[in-house]
Amino acid sequence: MKFFQKDELKLLWPFYFSKFAFIIFNILIPFEALYFLDLGFSLFQVGIITASLALAAFLFEIPTGAVADLYGRKASSLIGYFLSAIVAFSIFFARGFYLIITLYFLLGFAKTFISGAEQAWIVDKLHQNKKKNLIHDYFAKSHSFFSAGFLISGVVGSILVGIFGLSVIWPMLSLHFLMTGILLSFVKEEHKKANPEIRGHYQKFIKQTKESISYSFSHYNLRLFMFGLVFIALAVMLLSGLTWYPFMESAGLNKKYLGYLFSITWAIAMVIPHFTKKIVKFFGGYKRYLVATWIAIFLTTILVLFFNNLIALIVVYVISSSMWDFHHIGKNPFFQQFIPSSMRATIKSLEMQIIALVSIFGRILAGFLADTIGLRYTLGIGAFLVIPLIIIYSKMKEIVKIK
């Protein structure tokens, strides 16, 4: 059995390649919170810094998503990657609290040009080339390449941090954005862009946004999904690198080894996609599969309240992270089937905007709780936030079953 289907590499190799080769330069996640703690900030202040990124996403996700739908996914994605590269490199030189907040806000703004646009670019490319059957395969395989890249990035991060210190994360992140932007600049875009005349563009933009929002909240499954995003964002913020990695360090894990722990989770994530299609079939469709992943996330994460041994906590973290990967892979193909092509980037940006809005509060809350009640109980609260998601996803309809 071939790993790649007919014409799959011809259409998608640049996206697969960037997900693997250039993600290696992104060593930020395991060390971000510790970098700011080393600068003398509290976890509450770190929460405020990262909340500024979420604030920018909330303000600009839908406008930039509509720009991508109207004027091209490629242009939007490239603007996002190159601007992100400039801002990430600038953070390397910043030390003041308010300057860092400003730069994080700009980074959040830059990333909104990518979030909805690139995914819509890929899905439309497959539709236009009559390869809709590759949509699930793309999300699964790209996750594998993404995971393989992060597997290596964790090791690279631990080595570089050990040699150069935590500040090395910023030029490496800038390189990740820059190289991805350069590669994708050579990729053809099939999406039909709006007429380049200036007249009427604002009206088209407003109409596109209103129609996409209306469709999202009138469609039964999408309405439930949008409501569930509130709990997803809160849970993710309380179970993020802001809490997990400082907690693992406080439990006795040397910070230079956090990259290796990060790599372990992505090594598992790399093989997960090869089992998801069979597991989805076992559950009889995406809906039951997604409900099962939420149950698994809750049952594993809640164990953090009961273990003190470092090895046991590492196992809990690795399994919990893997359950999030199982969920993520099934979520995209399930919900993409409900979204019209003409609204795909805007609705994806609406999803990201809701997450960003809740994340503004969630990141600050995570930092506040970590400083007041401690990292362990903050993680425990994050686990309990998954319970409403089990209920919400149970109410969804299984419209199209995987073949």
Report the pLDDT value the prediction gives residue 250, as an integer from 0 to 100.
Answer: 94
The candidate with the shortest Cα–Cα distance to 222, out of 393, 46, 391, is 393
Residues 6+ apart with CB under 8 A from 245: 30, 31, 33, 34, 258
In a domain, 262, yes or no: yes
Q: What is the pLDDT of residues 149-176, one digit of tens each?
A: 989 999 999 999 999 999 999 999 999 9
Output the CA angle 374-48-65, nearest 5 degrees. Answer: 125
- Tell me the C-alpha to C-alpha distance, in Å, between residue 114 and each of 46, 69, 108, 186, 296: 24, 12, 10, 16, 31
In a domain, 195, yes or no: no
In a domain, 2, yes or no: no
Let me know: does 118 contact 185? Beta carbons within 8 Å.
no
The candidate with the shortest Cα–Cα distance to 58, out of 334, 402, 360, 296, is 360
Look at residue 299 and tell me whether its pLDDT is greater than 80.
yes
Question: Cβ–Cβ contacts within 10 Å for residue 6, how many?
Answer: 9
d(CA 252, CA 250) in angstroms, rounded, equals 5
Average pLDDT rounded to a whole number, residues 81-86: 97
In a domain, 361, yes or no: yes
d(CA 381, CA 214) in angstroms, rounded, equals 33
Domain count, the chain: 1
Q: What is the pLDDT of residues 228-256, one digit of tens each?
A: 999 999 999 999 989 999 999 999 999 88
Range with the largest mean pLDDT of 13-27, 36-50, 341-355: 36-50
Let me know: does 260 contact 155? Beta carbons within 8 Å.
yes
Q: Within 13 Å and on the Cβ side, how many CA atoms surround 198?
A: 0
* Position with higher pLDDT, 381 vs 58: 381
Q: Which helix (H) or strand (E) holds 251?
A: none
d(CA 403, CA 152) in angstroms, rounded, equals 33
Look at residue 199 and tell me whether its pLDDT is greater than 50.
no
In a domain, 401, yes or no: no
d(CA 361, CA 54) in angstroms, rounded, equals 9
Report the pLDDT value the prediction gives residue 284, as an integer from 0 to 100.
Answer: 86
pLDDT band at 355 (very low <50, low <70, confident <90, very high): confident
Average pLDDT rounded to a whole number, residues 275-289: 87
d(CA 287, CA 1) in angstroms, rounded, equals 28
Look at residue 198 and tell me whether its pLDDT is greater than 50.
no
In a domain, 215, yes or no: yes
d(CA 73, CA 119) in angstroms, rounded, equals 9
The candidate with the shortest Cα–Cα distance to 32, out of 143, 194, 157, 203, is 157
Look at residue 265 and tell me whether its pLDDT is greater than 50.
yes
In a domain, 239, yes or no: yes
d(CA 268, CA 319) in angstroms, rounded, equals 9
In a domain, 402, yes or no: no
Domain membership of residue 237 as a residue range: 10-188+200-394
User: Phi first, then psi: what are they for 165, rounded to 5°?
Assistant: 95, 175
Let me know: does 242 contact 50? Beta carbons within 8 Å.
yes
Tell me how far apart the terminal alpha carbons of the chain are, to the nearest angstrom.
Answer: 17
What is the Cα Rg of the chain in Å?
A: 20
* Position with higher pLDDT, 69 vs 279: 279
Look at residue 131 and tell me whether its pLDDT is greater than 80.
no
* Position with higher pLDDT, 98 vs 266: 98
Indicate the length of the chain as a whole number: 403
What CATH number corresponds to the domain at position 264?
A: 1.20.1250.20
Average pLDDT rounded to a whole number, residues 279-303: 93
Look at residue 47 and tell me whether its pLDDT is greater than 80.
yes
- DSSP label at residue 341: G
Look at residue 193 and tell me whether its pLDDT is greater than 60.
no
Report the pLDDT value the prediction gives residue 115, as an integer from 0 to 100.
Answer: 78
Report the pLDDT value the prediction gives residue 89, as an integer from 0 to 100.
Answer: 98
With 0.75 as the threshold, say if the pTM is over it. yes
Question: Cβ–Cβ contacts within 10 Å for residue 390, how many?
Answer: 17
Question: What is the rounded average pLDDT for all residues in the chain?
Answer: 87
